[in-house]
């Protein structure tokens, strides 16, 4: 029988130094490329009703099943932007037509709307430059309009220099004319 010699077991080593180097390099990369979010990122200036305009003094006095007897408030604006959507013929934001209504008449905006609302912004800039005073814009869309379409129309109004943007009650899109 042969004698077994005792072998020394192989020692397993874990290379810590390269892993630490890599982790510090990643940490440095993420710290150096981090950008603080700006104050306007993801925010919109909205004027919501105050608590003073509440219909009931206590929550217990509110009947959610009762129909509202108040007529919707019609906010007056110099310019109304009609945004229509239909089941067919819409773009990615659900917009199928945009019209700018002024006292002088109706001006259509040509498609595609979701790709670029520059034409709307340019027309509104022309209107703002001839108006002389700060005009208000009212956006009226139908109930099928996607919210991102409304935000893009709002952005076009803001880019044109309009600060006062309001919303009208959604209308029935069959009342709009092409």
pLDDT in tens, 116-161: 678 888 888 888 777 655 678 888 887 777 778 888 888 888 888 8
Render pLDDT for 100-117 as a digit per residue (tens, 0 to 9).
Answer: 888 778 878 877 665 667
pLDDT of residue 9: 83
Residue 123 CB contacts under 8 Å (≥ 6 apart), including other chains: 100, 107, 109
In the predicted structure, residue 99 carries a pLDDT above the cut 70: yes
Give 107: exposed, middle or buried? Use CB within 10 Å, 0-12, 13-18, 19+.
Answer: middle
Query: Rounded CA gap, 139 and 168, in Å?
Result: 6
Query: Using CA of residue 112, residue 176, residue 102, residue 146, what is the dihedral sign?
Result: negative
**Cα(159)–Cα(47) distance, integer angstroms:** 19
Q: Which of 4-18, 23-37, 81-95 has the least mean pLDDT?
A: 81-95
> Which one is the CATH code of 77-175: 3.30.1180, 3.30.230, 3.30.70, 3.30.1360?
3.30.1180
For the beta sheet containing 79-84, the strands, ordered from the edge strand earlier in sequence to the opposite edge, are: 105-109, 97-102, 79-84, 136-141, 164-167
Two structure tokens written together for 71: 């007529």
Residues 6+ apart with CB under 8 A from 76: 136
CB 136 within 8 A of CB 165: yes
Return the number of other C-beta atoms located less than 10 Å from residue 176's C-beta: 17
Each residue's pLDDT tens digit, 12-68: 888 899 999 999 999 999 999 998 877 666 666 666 555 555 556 666 776 767 666
**Which two three-digit tokens encode residue 104?**
């002088």
Pick from 97, 83, 78: nearest CA to 137:
78
Beta carbons of 50 and 106 less than 8 angstroms apart: no
Whats the size of the chain, residue-wise? 178
């Amino acid at each position: 029988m042969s004698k077994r010699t005792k072998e020394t077991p192989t020692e397993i080593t874990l290379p810590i130094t390269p892993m630490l180097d890599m982790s510090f390099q990643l940490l440095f990369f993420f710290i150096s490329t981090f950008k603080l979010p700006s104050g306007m990122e993801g925010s919109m200036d909205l004027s919501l009703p105050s608590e003073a305009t509440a219909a009931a003094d206590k929550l217990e006095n509110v009947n959610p099943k009762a129909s509202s007897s108040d007529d919707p408030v019609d906010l007056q604006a110099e310019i109304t932007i009609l945004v229509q959507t239909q089941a067919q013929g819409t773009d990615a934001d659900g917009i199928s037509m945009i019209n700018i209504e002024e006292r002088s008449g109706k001006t259509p905006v040509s498609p595609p709307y979701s790709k670029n609302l520059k034409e709307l912004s340019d027309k509104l800039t022309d209107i703002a430059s001839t108006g002389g005073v700060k005009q208000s814009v009212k956006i009226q869309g139908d109930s099928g309009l996607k919210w991102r379409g409304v935000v893009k129309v709002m952005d076009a109004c803001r880019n044109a220099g309009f600060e006062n943007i309001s919303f009208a009650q959604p209308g029935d899109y069959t009342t709009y004319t092409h």
